[in-house]
Each structure stands twice: as structure tokens, then as C-alpha cells.
Amino acid sequence: MTDETLASYAAHEESGKGRRHKEPPAAYRGEYQRDRDRIIHSTAFRRLVYKTQVFVNHEGDLYRTRMTHSLEVTQIARTVARALRLNEPLVEAISLAHDLGHTPFGHAGQDALNECMRDYGGFEHNLQSLRVVDELEAKYADFVGLNLTYETREGILKHCSARNARELGELGKRFLDRRQPGLEAQLVNIADSIAYNNHDVDDGFRAGLLQLDQLRGQALFGEHYTEVRQRYPELDDRRLIYEVIRRMIGHVVTDLINHTSDALLALGPESIEDVRSHSKPLVAFSDAVFESHTALKKFLRENLYRHDQVRQMNEQTRAMVEVLFERYMSDTSQMPRWFEKRAALGQPDGQARVVADYIAGMTDRFAIAEHDRLN
């Protein structure tokens, strides 16, 4: 479908690199809309509801999960996409899929699985997201995976080690040549960090792990805090936090749009290929906002992600992943038939990869139940 509202440097379906298996066009939808719908209908997507972002699922019902995080990323990215006249359905597809490969228990789960897989090629959640859509979703009679377009897959694979990049053919080439993905992919990458920087302030405060006084020391937070306090001197803390977070998101999103449009105007890329050939991403914050955004990220790492309470939970969940890996490796019949059969095909590295696929696909609560069953 030709879309006149798109900028020349956006991803255009008619010049897209297509799907791995050729398919006739859909009747009412464009190709990226179709990708988005396939992602939403996937089993991996539904599991995101029960996967940890920072707080393990059973710690409370109001914290972000991978699902609500993915939806927040999508909304932020769509706003920017419209303002920059980028391809909105593509941005939606990439945003909704970007965390499909995440293990249960957030980064603790990913680190544990990576450690278990050390002798078998390691585990990267980005690459796993691509594996989910390319190989693990089993829904179509004619092909494995979801057969998504090149541009969606390019956006899903935001990082990749050189070793893995070499095995990925054209999709991995940009990591070796130091080229960029399209603007839609660049945008989702930043929208991801805008979303978690802001919702983790909210969740951390709700959990009582971050205090207002600490947050006020952060440039991004402090500036908007003062403004809200002056305007609403009587406001309770809970609503105040929301007023501040809303302004913080608005502030960085506006900066991102302005700074990126200036860069696009100055450099004048005429197509997605021009964008790809740049050595640096074109979707970017101004230096000042980049600095305060990065400072907030660092603050969250030190004060929330490494908070004693979070760390304790991480140690428990880490140990669970290690036990699961060990049990399935020594007895593959403990996995469902489909995984057991696949494991038998590829001894021994292949077997470990199948076990990692099985564990990575688990929700938090399923992993806990499996751990209890096998112990």
C-alpha cells in the first residue's frame, strides 16, 4: 500500500525487503499492519502478561509487566512516528515484539540463562526475540515462525554479538559493517528507554524503594517536581508523582522529535537506504536531554535495580533458572514432547539451545511451578 503521508526517509512497504517466504498480499491491511497482528496473536505475546519487568509478577498487581511495558513503548513510539512522518504500523509491530524473547524474572533470568548457556553459545534476549518470531512460534502450515517482514525483524534485533551477527546473513550484516537500521527501529530503541526510565520511577516509588528526596536530586525529575509543587502546593505525593512523570515523558519526547527533525533536515536522507548507511543513529536526543536521561538511567540502576530487596528476589529467581536448566539437561523427558523431540535431534549444543528456548518462553509463575515440581 502506498502511503502519501510518509516521509521519503521512512520505511515504505513497496520498497521493503519482504518476507522470507513469499505470501500473497492481505486484503485490507498493509504488510506492517499484518506483522503487528501476527505478533499480537502470538503465544509469546500473551505470555508477556506474566513476565517480570523489574518486580516479579506475584509481588503486586499494579507493577509493570513485560506486556504493559511493551504497550507503553508502543504508545510513545507511535506519537514520535507520527510527528516525524515515519511508518506507524511498523513502529507498532517492532514495539510490541521487542521483548518477546525475554526470560521469566527479568534481567536476573536472562543473566542466569546466559551463564547456563556459556558453553553453548550464550543467551541474548534480543536474539531470542528474533528466534521467537522466526522459529519458535508454530502457527502456520506453510512455514515455521511468523514470517514477518525484513523491516520488523531488523527492528527486533537491536543488539547482537559479532559471532551471532555472522550467522544471521543480511540481517546481521549491519552489526559488522556498523550501519544503522531504519528510523522506525532506531525510534523504538529510544522509546523503550523512555518508557522504562519513567515507569520504573513510578513502580519504584510505589514499592517504597525510591523516595521523593532521592528523586528530586535527579535533574529531569527535580525540574518538573519544582514546577508541579509551585503550581499545586497541596497535592498528595501519589498524584504529584504522576504529574511529574507525565511532564518528564512530554519533555524528552518533545526533545526527541525536535532534535531528530533538525538532524533529518540537516542531513537530508532521501530513503531508508540513506538512513541505513549512516554511521550513527539519526533518531536522538539533544546533548542536554541525553545527559539527564542517561543520568536517570544510572540512578535507577544504582538505586532500584540494585536495591537490596530487588537483589534478594533476583538471587532467588536466578537459582530457580539454574535448577531448571540442570534438570532439563539431565532429563529432557521432563519437557513437553515437542521440546523433548527437538532436543534429541541436536546433541549436545542443540539440546542446550532447546532447553534455553523452553525456559525462556516460561512465564514467572510457570517457572516457579516447574521449579517446585522438579524439586
| 53/218 with CB nearer Mg ion | 53
How many other β-carbons are positioned within 10 Å of the β-carbon of residue 237? Answer: 9
Q: Which stretch binds Mg ion (CB under 5 A): 91-99, 124-132, 150-158, 250-258?
A: 91-99
Q: What is d(CA 198, CA 298) in angstroms, rounded to the nearest whole number?
A: 13
In the complex, what is the shortest distance from the CB of residue 12 to Mg ion, in angstroms, rounded to a whole number? 26
User: Residue 149 pairs with which residues in a beta bridge?
Assistant: 19
Q: How many residues bind Mg ion (CB under 5 A)?
A: 2
CB nearer to Mg ion: give 48 or 289: 48
- In the three-class reduction of DSSP (H, G, I as helix; E, B as strand; rest coil), residue 319 is classed as helix
Is residue 99 near Mg ion by the rule CB under 5 A? yes
Distance of CA 114 to the CA centre of its chain: 17
The pair phi, psi for residue 303, each rounded to 5°, is -100, -20
**Cell triple for residue 27?**
486484503
Longest dimension (CA), the chain: 66
Q: Which stretch binds Mg ion (CB under 5 A): 95-103, 111-119, 313-321, 334-342?
A: 95-103
Using CB atoms, what's the residue nearest to Mg ion?
Answer: 192
Q: Which of 193, 186, 227 is nearest to 295 (CA)?
A: 193
Which CB, 88 or 192, lies closer to Mg ion? 192
What is the torsional sign of CA 217, 219, 220, 223? positive
Distance in angstroms (rounded) separating the CA atoms of residues 282 and 264: 7
Cβ contact 148:38 at 8 Å: yes
Give the nearest distance from C-beta 192 to Mg ion in angstroms: 4
Sole window of 98-106, 112-120, 282-290, 324-332 interacting with Mg ion (rule: CB under 5 A): 98-106
> Quick one: 134 or 192, whose CB is closer to Mg ion?
192
Segment interacting with Mg ion (CB under 5 A) among 99-107, 226-234, 310-318, 356-364: 99-107
Nearer to Mg ion among residue 249 and residue 329 (C-beta): 249
Closer residue to Mg ion in complex, CB, 192/200: 192
CB of 297 to Mg ion, least distance (A): 13
Dump the DSSP string for 155-183: HH-----HHHHHHTTHHHHHHHHT----H
Shortest CB 345 distance to Mg ion, Å: 32
Q: Which of residues 187-206 bind Mg ion (CB under 5 A)?
A: 192
Residues at the contact surface with Mg ion, assessed by CB under 5 A: 99, 192
